[in-house]
């Protein structure tokens, strides 16, 4: 499902226009991004948790040349599925 299909499905389920569903989706994703930027997590009970994980600096290897290279430390977004989501999928 792509973004437009998701918007259409949300609009149909909530009985709202596609424009309103698009605004709601933009607001949701924007809020999650801003919260993760601050280093906080977003928990949606039954659905899952969005959080930021820290990745330590490490030494990697170029697969073409075999030469070692340094990979800098960074933060990465992560998602852990909640029990209700896992149960729904299985």
Longest dimension (CA), the chain: 57
pLDDT for position 45? 93
Mean pLDDT (the chain, rounded): 95
Given pLDDT bands bounded at 50, 70 and 90, which one contains residue 29?
Answer: very high
How far is the C-alpha of 58 from the C-alpha of 62, rounded, in Å? Answer: 13
Do 32 and 70 have their domain in common? no
Do 66 and 87 have their domain in common? yes
Q: Which residue has the tokens 């605004």?
A: 23
Do 35 and 67 have their domain in common? no
Given pLDDT bands bounded at 50, 70 and 90, which one contains residue 10?
Answer: very high
Residue-level length of the chain? 90
Given pLDDT bands bounded at 50, 70 and 90, which one contains residue 19?
Answer: very high
Do 15 and 31 have their domain in common? yes
Given pLDDT bands bounded at 50, 70 and 90, which one contains residue 1?
Answer: very high
Do 35 and 46 have their domain in common? no
Do 50 and 88 have their domain in common? yes
Instruction: Give bridge partners of residue 52 from the DSSP assignment.
Output: 77
- Phi, psi angle pair for 73, to nearest 5°: -65, 150
Per-residue pLDDT tens over the stretch 35-49: 999 999 999 999 999
Structural domain count of the chain: 2
> The domain containing residue 4 runs over which residues?
1-40
pLDDT for position 78? 95
DSSP, collapsed to helix, strand or coil, labels residue 57 as: coil
How far is the C-alpha of 45 from the C-alpha of 83, rounded, in Å? Answer: 9
Residues 41, 53: contact at Cβ < 8 Å?
A: no
Do 70 and 28 have their domain in common? no
């Amino acid at each position: 499902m792509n973004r437009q299909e998701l918007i259409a499905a949300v609009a149909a389920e909530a009985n709202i226009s596609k424009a309103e569903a698009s605004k709601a989706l933009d607001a949701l994703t924007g809020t999650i991004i801003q919260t993760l930027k601050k280093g906080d997590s977003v928990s949606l009970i039954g659905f899952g948790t969005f959080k930021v994980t820290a990745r330590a600096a490490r030494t990697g290897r170029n697969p073409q040349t075999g030469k070692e290279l340094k990979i800098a430390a960074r933060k990465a977004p992560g998602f852990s599925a909640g029990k209700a989501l896992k149960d729904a999928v299985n």
